[in-house]
Amino acid sequence: MNPFNRIGLAAFAVSMFGAATFVTAQAQDAPHGDAGNGKRIYLAVGCFTCHGRAGQGGAYTGPAPIVAHTALPFDGFKGQIRDPSDNMPAYSEAVLSDKDIADIYAFVESLPGPRSPKDVSVLNN
């Protein structure tokens, strides 16, 4: 095989792999996010200033809802970030990629959400 054919074959293999990845991503409802990286981004882009470090919501800058353990599907979550329903600032793709949003989604999903005081062990002594 001459070297040019090899390059052609490699390019073909890469494009097939790309197509397969695309199909897999389409098949899932919510992309598989990285919660650890999502936490880092959630803090870096200021979500926490309104929604709290534990996603508990807040009133510091006006009422901001709880996002911990969100019941929103990924599309609704992303829609609110790109095109907020009311007072929340919009985050464009230049600021947050879809992957960043998927990572933030994984992070807020991983948060426990509201807890009873009985679940806070130090209060049960």
Give the nearest distance from C-beta 83 to ligand HEC in angstroms: 9
CA distances from 27 to 21, 110, 120 (A): 10, 22, 39
Cα gap 121→125, rounded to integer Å: 7
* Residue found under tokens 């007072």: 87
Member of 9, 61, 69, 75 binding ligand HEC (CB under 6 A): 61
Member of 33, 39, 47, 52 binding ligand HEC (CB under 6 A): 47
Q: Per CB under 6 A, does 49 bind ligand HEC?
A: yes
Q: Which of residues 72-101 bind ligand HEC (CB under 6 A)?
A: 72, 77, 80-81, 84-89, 91
Cβ-based neighbours of 10, under 8 Å, separated by 6 or more: none
Cα gap 29→18, rounded to integer Å: 19
Query: By the criterion CB under 6 A, which residues form the site for ligand HEC?
Result: 45-47, 49-51, 61-62, 64-65, 67, 70, 72, 77, 80-81, 84-89, 91, 104
